[in-house]
Structure 1
Amino acid sequence: MAAMEGRTSEELTPRYYALCTIGGMLSAGTTHLATTPLDVLKVNMQVHPIKYYSISSCFTTLLREQGPSVLWKGWTGKFFGYGAQGGCRFGLYEYFKGVYSNVLVDQHRSLVFFLSSASAEVFANLALCPFEAVKVRVQAQPSFAKGMFDGFPKVYAAEGARGFYRGLVPLLGRNIPFSMVMFSTFEHSVDFLYRNVVKRKKEECSKAQQLGVTCLAGYTAGSVGSFVSNPADNIVASLYNKKADSLLLAIRKIGLANLFTRSLPIRMLLVGPSITLQWFFYDTIKVLGQLVVKLHLT
């Protein structure tokens, strides 16, 4: 299969999948940590759209009312939650891609990408959901908790274990389409860039050129995926902050048009660079990790 070209059977081992998982954890955790201030703005604009009607008004109002530290609220949930999600997302994607590529023929490459990313994302969201439940409350409710460590007991005391998975369905509705579009767009963008722009095989390019292709494809994948998943992202923020008690009520209160447009500019500003950096760090960690393994074996 074309997607598997250049891989040897030695690479597809538990060691390789472990390296992909570690790469996903580090890349996703660090990039989401770095974008915490933008995420704080996004969540508050989603939960309080009348008060925070623009990026600039949200930024200035939050600073005036809560001080500079507000921009880093929820950073622990971002780092640990999205680190866990990234480990499952990238590690299991590579695993499922190997499984599905052995079942489906070369003409079904897109289906392999879709199935692999969707399967991995289910597990990734089960890992992320409790952290997201606390993070959104911390960011949008100033008096709720200081962070993850005092937020978890408060959620459990108020709602039990169910409170951590209140937004699981819309979270899956946000992240599964995002992941499917993101991985598929990335894989096809990489193929397009090598064939039509670089006009050389990946193996014939330098590591710097390969990482450059990764960044271009990553930004394209993140931007397209953020648009597709924006409606569910708005619903998640609404449910976790009890602006609505059910999925249908959340959709009705937000409005169909607002599902796609509310906080979209800042989400694209947030997701595009974040996904680009994730792919850059992920590929860099894989390259360094494989180099260390080869040096160890020789």
Structure 2
Amino acid sequence: MKTLITKGTLTATLLMAVSFACTDKFLEVPATGQLSGAQLTTKAGLDGLLMGAYAQLNARGFSQSASSFNWVRGSVSGGEANKGSNSGDFNALTPYETYQLLPSSGEVNAKWNAMYEGIARCNSVLRSLGSAGSDVTAAQKTGLQAEARFLRGHYYFELKRNFNMVPFIDETVDYGTGIEKVANNADIWPKIEADFKFAQDNLPATQSSVGRANKWAAMAYLAKTYLYEKKYTEAKALFDQVIANGVTSNGLKYALLANYSDNFNAAKDNGSESVFAIQAAANAGSS
């Protein structure tokens, strides 16, 4: 009996020792798959955030019709393309073709959400640049800022054309306190102008990756913004520069292709007519 009591006492003592050894630190386990602020503010981390902003150009996670390709809102609504197939195939797109679109359409909501998701990713890059690590040079910071503002300008350009009066949310807004407090009673064209102007002034003429925006793409977007504002003199001055001196991000002089259909040939992507082209993988094992 004495032996049993001794063993029991020893076991209890060991358990108590283990319990007291467990401090709060032992319970502080980082969330699986979560990156720390320190990781995101390195050069690699900031590049990763920026690639996330580019990735939203195809509206992944929302709807095909919400992407920046605009084949529905542009080509189908404009009459140069047909939705095709039968009436039951993706019939949510039929109202775009028949001019019977309602505000309650899920596709309308998807476009809104997809563009603001892109904006949130751009703002995340711009906000993180304020804490950039020592491995990020001043020139690199400016380049990242210019690309993020180009993309933000693009997303707001899409929203302005589709919805007109929309709230402008930038990197200074605290998303945690509720972005619904941001009003939509101001014309945002001047803010879109400012983003494209900054991109134009700070992006290089060519890029190491063809999918990254260059200064000429920003200038073309700024000129198109001026067109929507009926600033025709300013728009023409920029378009003249783009036509005379512009090059694609991979260094090709802007020019019309000899064969127009080559613009739609996947084997001939990023040709001389490519002012800014979204880069996306096809048949990569996912939808």
Q: TM-score, normalised by structure 1?
A: 0.27
Larger radius of gyration: 2
Q: Considering Cα pairs closer than 8 Å and 6+ residues apart, tell me whether 1 or 2 has the greater RCO.
A: 1
- TM-score, normalization: structure 2? 0.28
Instruction: Answer 1 or 2: which has greater helix percent.
Output: 1
